[in-house]
C-alpha cells in the first residue's frame, strides 16, 4: 500500500479549516481519522460549496443519539427535539405504547421515543423508499430492528392494517415554495422533506383528516410547525374535529409543537 496517499491529520485539519472553519474540520477529522489526500480534497470542496458537515460525515446527533443521514434524508434539527420532549412530558413513564411517525425521514423522532419510552414500538411512514432504508439502518444500529417498522406511504394513503396508535408524531414538510427564510444548508436536503403546497400547510390539511382514523380515543397527536404557523395549523385541526391541548416552545422561545387530542 502506498501510504503517501494519506495526509497527516494536522495538514488535513488545516486544509479543512480553511475551507469550512475549525469546528467543521474537527468533526470531520475526528470522524474519519487518517484521510487520503483525495478524501480531504473532496471534503474541502464540499465545505466550500456549503454542504453541511452532517452530509459529509453522514452523521448527525439528535437527542443524544448519533443518526446516519445522507442526501435522501433531511438532517435532524435541534428544534425537532422539542417534538420528542413534548411526547415524553405526557407519556414518559407509560409502558407498551404504539407510536406512528408520519414523514419519518432518518427515523430520529420515532427512534428517540422508542429509546426513552418503556417497551414502546413505532411505525415510521415516508413517501421516500430511500429515506425508509436510512430509518431502518438507524433502528438496527440502535438494536431496535424489532421495535421499529418502516412503511412506505403518504400522509393520506398508508397501509397500517387498521391499527390505531397511542401517539402520532409528525415533522412534515411545512416550508412554502419560494420562502426566502430557508437557510443555505437546506438546499442539500430533499425538497420532498421541506416544501409543501398551500403556503406550507398542505401536509397539515392531509394529516388532520386522515389521522382521525389512526389515533386511539385516549391518544394525542404532536406536530412540529414553522414560525408563525400556529394559528393556521390550530385552525386546520380544530376544524377537522381535534381538540387543542397546548403549544410547546423550542429553546429559542418560538412555538414549535402543537398538541391535539380527540
Residue 2 has pLDDT above 70, yes or no: no
Same domain flag for 52 and 138: no
Averaged pLDDT score across all residues of the chain: 94
Query: What burial letters (b/e) apply to 56-75, b meaning 16+ CB within 10 Å?
Result: bbebbebbebebbbbebbbb
- Tell me if 63 is assigned to some domain: no
- Determine how many CB atoms are found less than 10 A away from the CB of residue 107: 31
Domain that holds residue 7: 3-57
Give the per-residue pLDDT at 187: 86
Q: How many domains does the chain have?
A: 2
Check: CB of residue 172 under 8 Å from CB of residue 155. yes
CA of 42: how far to CAs of 8, 37, 49, 71, 73, in Å? 16, 9, 11, 16, 21
Same domain flag for 78 and 152: yes
- Tell me if 64 is assigned to some domain: no
Give the per-residue pLDDT at 178: 80
CATH of the domain at 203: 3.40.50.150
Same domain flag for 167 and 248: yes
Same domain flag for 96 and 41: no
pTM of the model: 0.94
- Tell me if 102 is assigned to some domain: yes
Same domain flag for 82 and 156: yes
Give the per-residue pLDDT at 1: 39
User: What is the rounded CA–CA span in Å between residue 145 and residue 139?
Assistant: 5
Mean pLDDT of 72-94: 97
- Tell me if 66 is assigned to some domain: no
Same domain flag for 23 and 146: no
The residues near 159 (Cβ < 8 Å, ≥ 6 apart) are 151, 153
Handedness of CA 180, 17, 44, 108 (dihedral sign): negative
Same domain flag for 29 and 82: no
Mean pLDDT of 123-130: 97
Check: CB of residue 48 under 8 Å from CB of residue 25. no
Same domain flag for 147 and 222: yes
Same domain flag for 133 and 239: yes
- Tell me if 219 is assigned to some domain: yes
Judged by average pLDDT, the poorest of 4-8, 14-18, 90-94, 228-232 is 4-8
- Tell me if 147 is assigned to some domain: yes
Residue 214 has pLDDT above 90, yes or no: yes
- Determine how many CB atoms are found less than 10 A away from the CB of residue 257: 24
Give the per-residue pLDDT at 18: 96
pLDDT in tens, 7-47: 889 999 999 999 999 999 999 999 998 899 999 999 999 99
Scanning the structure block, which residue is given the C-alpha cell 412540529? 224
Same domain flag for 165 and 81: yes
Residue 64 has pLDDT above 90, yes or no: yes
Give the per-residue pLDDT at 3: 47
Judged by average pLDDT, the poorest of 126-140, 180-194, 232-246 is 180-194
Give the per-residue pLDDT at 6: 86
Same domain flag for 37 and 108: no
Rounded to a whole number, what is the distance in angstroms from the first to the last CA of the chain?
A: 65
Give the per-residue pLDDT at 185: 73
The residues near 228 (Cβ < 8 Å, ≥ 6 apart) are none
- Tell me if 62 is assigned to some domain: no
Laid out side by side, the sheet with 165-170 consists of: 148-152, 121-126, 98-102, 165-170, 215-224, 255-261, 243-249
Mean pLDDT of 72-76: 96
**Residue 179 pLDDT grade (very low, low, confident, very high; cuts 50, 70, 90):** confident
Mean pLDDT of 108-136: 98
Give the per-residue pLDDT at 4: 60
- Tell me if 45 is assigned to some domain: yes
User: What is the rounded CA–CA span in Å between residue 180 and residue 187?
Assistant: 12
Same domain flag for 156 and 192: yes
Residue 118 has pLDDT above 50, yes or no: yes
Amino acid at each position: 500500500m502506498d501510504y503517501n496517499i494519506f495526509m497527516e491529520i494536522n495538514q488535513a485539519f488545516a486544509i479543512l479549516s480553511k475551507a469550512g472553519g475549525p469546528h467543521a474540520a474537527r468533526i470531520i477529522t475526528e470522524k474519519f481519522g487518517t484521510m487520503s489526500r483525495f478524501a480531504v480534497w473532496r471534503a474541502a470542496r464540499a465545505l466550500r460549496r456549503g454542504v453541511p458537515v452532517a452530509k459529509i460525515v453522514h452523521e448527525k446527533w439528535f437527542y443524544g443519539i448519533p443518526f446516519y443521514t445522507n442526501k435522501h434524508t433531511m438532517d435532524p434539527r435541534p428544534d425537532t427535539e422539542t417534538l420528542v420532549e413534548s411526547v415524553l412530558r405526557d407519556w414518559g413513564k407509560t409502558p407498551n405504547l404504539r407510536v406512528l411517525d408520519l414523514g419519518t425521514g432518518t427515523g430520529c423522532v420515532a427512534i428517540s421515543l422508542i429509546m426513552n419510552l418503556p417497551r414502546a414500538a413505532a411505525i415510521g411512514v415516508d413517501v421516500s423508499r430511500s429515506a425508509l432504508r436510512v430509518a431502518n439502518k438507524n433502528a438496527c444500529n440502535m438494536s431496535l430492528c424489532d421495535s421499529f417498522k418502516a412503511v412506505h406511504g403518504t400522509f393520506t394513503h398508508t397501509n397500517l392494517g387498521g391499527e390505531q396508535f397511542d401517539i402520532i408524531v409528525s415533522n412534515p414538510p411545512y416550508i412554502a415554495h419560494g420562502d426566502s427564510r430557508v437557510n443555505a444548508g437546506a438546499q442539500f436536503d430533499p425538497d420532498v422533506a421541506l416544501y409543501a403546497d398551500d403556503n406550507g400547510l398542505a401536509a397539515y390539511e392531509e394529516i388532520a383528516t386522515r389521522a382521525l382514523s389512526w389515533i386511539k380515543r385516549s391518544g394525542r397527536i404532536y406536530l412540529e410547525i414553522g414560525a408563525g404557523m400556529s394559528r393556521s395549523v390550530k385552525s386546520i385541526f380544530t376544524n377537522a374535529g381535534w381538540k387543542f391541548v397546548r403549544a410547546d416552545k423550542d429553546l429559542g422561545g418560538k412555538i414549535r409543537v402543537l398538541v391535539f387530542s380527540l
